[in-house]
Amino acid sequence: MVRLSGVVVVAVVLASGASLKAGDEAPPKIIKLGVLAGMFRDVSPALVHAAATPFQDLFRKQTGVESEVEMFAHCDSLASQLKEKKLHFGVFHGFEWAWLKGRYPELQPLAVTVTPKKIQACLVIHSNSKVEKPAELQGACVAVPLGAKAHTYLYLDRLQQTLPPGCCQLAPHDERGSDEILDAVSEGKTPAALMDLATLAAYQDSKPGKGRRLKVLCQSDPFPATVVVFRTGGVDQNTVEKIRSGLVKAKDNPHGRAFLFLWQLKGFEESNAGYEAQLQTVLKAYPPPPPGLPNAPR
């Protein structure tokens, strides 16, 4: 477990418009938040800290409340800390929240991120490739970019379980980003790539020539969005409502819009029936790992 400033602090900044007021319980002197290491794959803690520090300073000046962020390797560890009231808020991938919510009834969703496009994973190949289905991708042939999102790994793990042994295996990890790997696929140098579908769409918009030489071999159904979670009774209700309101209204103020632009979000919303239905769907398609195995894909 590594202590650092991260995206959760930025989220809390959006909720701060004035000093916190006491509710039925005294508000915390230090807001403690948990975030999963998988959200910063291939990003050094020092870089995450450098990007978040200005927002943390702003939060302290506006509220007078210090904040701490702890990074966790596994979602169960983060959920346990919330349950034991050692943290006030936590951020989970939607699929992880689907795994956990039934086992931690004390935890409740505070706000759900709203993304510009659906959260989906895909396998990308050259448009002239003769491969027609994933089972035809033999051996270690699937390249993955630096910073690949957790849902893409989860999709590939699930896909591999439906295929003969040895199909769709990951190529040796290298230092290439998304554009470099998609360039290689479009040039016929790399057989296939594991991508977030929105990343592929952005590439095709920015490089239409090379983009036309790519096609999606297969893709996932949409995944539920990232969610901010709190423990019932773990923080005073006034603080909970202030932060929830700030997140939902983030798009209406300059600081909020800057954050949303930085993290490529449209905004935040309260959990609703549609989101709950997505959680049930992903839980059936991607059951939680067996006990004793890591929660985070890869």
Q: How much is the mean pLDDT over the chain?
A: 83
What is the Cα 102 distance to its own chain's centre? Answer: 20
Task: Indicate the domain borders of the chain.
Answer: 2-116+224-285, 121-219
Compute the distance between CA of residue 247 and CA of residue 16 in angstroms, rounded to an integer: 9
Position 254 confidence tier, pLDDT thresholds 50, 70, 90? confident
pLDDT in tens, 64-83: 556 777 888 899 999 999 99
Q: What is the CB neighbour count within 10 angstroms for residue 288? A: 17
N residues, the chain: 298
Candidates 142, 107, 153; CA nearest to 294 is 153
What average pLDDT does range 165-182 have in this prediction?
93
Residues whose CB is less than 8 angstroms from the CB of residue 167 and which lie 6 or more positions away in sequence, other chains included:
134, 135, 136, 137, 138, 160
Burial of 189 per CB tally in 10 Å (0-12, 13-18, 19+): exposed
Residues of the chain with pLDDT > 70, as a percent, come to 79
Residues whose CB is less than 8 angstroms from the CB of residue 293 and which lie 6 or more positions away in sequence, other chains included:
none
Candidates 243, 226, 227, 230; CA nearest to 82 is 230
pLDDT in tens, 83-130: 999 998 899 999 999 999 999 999 999 999 999 999 999 999 999 999
* Cα Rg of the chain, angstroms: 20
Residue 256 has pLDDT above 80, yes or no: no
2-116+224-285 against 121-219: fold identical = yes
- Cβ atoms of residues 171 and 192 within 8 Å: no
Could you tell me the CA-to-CA distances from 18 to 62, 140, 254 in Å, in that order?
6, 54, 16
What is the Cα 278 distance to its own chain's centre? Answer: 15
- For position 102, what pLDDT does the model report? 94
Between the two ends of the chain, the Cα-to-Cα distance in Å is 18
pLDDT in tens, 6-64: 344 344 443 343 333 434 456 677 778 888 877 877 666 666 665 555 455 544 554 45
What is residue 297's three-state secondary structure?
coil
Architecture of domain 2-116+224-285: 3-Layer(aba) Sandwich (3.40)
Determine if the pTM surpasses 0.75: yes
Architecture of domain 121-219: 3-Layer(aba) Sandwich (3.40)
Q: What are phi and psi of 273, to 5 degrees?
A: -60, -35
What average pLDDT does range 289-293 have in this prediction?
65
